[in-house]
Amino acid sequence: MQWPRDPFRELERIRGEMDRMFSRVPFFGSTQSQFPLVNLYENADTITILAEVPGVKKEEIDINMQESYLILTGKRETPSYGRAEILRKEQPEGSFEKRIRIPVAIKHDQIKASYKDGVLSITLPKSEEAKPKQITIETE
């Protein structure tokens, strides 16, 4: 069966290529759409990062802390379906790297990570200097 040709299909492909190319240039690319998607949460004691990495085995993910950046690297491969032609491709594949700036000092030796159902959870405990402190007001 022949699928009807979509006149905008080639434009979508070119746009995707341009987005990928400019995402590598600072200030041009949007980090919101780069794989993996992440959310950061902060409370008084920790920063928690949740990264969506569906289809990636935990053995294929590396987590490193360098200076004030948490760096996620890995590789995602999509399954092939024999000689089938791809009609639409939205899921990223291949190697990835995501750098997340952490704005406070962290206890590097206490960082914990877990992985379940395609979601990577990383807990970064704040150093004592980074935690909020209550200051009392003295009377004269």
- Percentage of residues of the chain with pLDDT beyond 90: 48
How many CA atoms within 13 Å lie on the side-chain side of 56? 26
The Cα–Cα gap between 63 and 46 comes to: 17
Structural domains for the chain? 1-32 (no CATH), 35-80+91-128 (2.60.40.790)
At 35-74, the pLDDT tens digits run: 899 999 999 999 999 999 998 999 999 999 998 999 999 9
Residue whose C-alpha is closest to residue 64's, from 54, 79, 55, 74: 74
The Cα–Cα gap between 120 and 60 comes to: 12
H/E stretch holding 62 reads strand 61-66
Q: Other C-beta atoms within 10 Å of 61: how many? A: 19
> Tokens representing 113?
């990570």
Which is more confidently placed, 20 or 112?
A: 112
Mean pLDDT of 30-39: 72
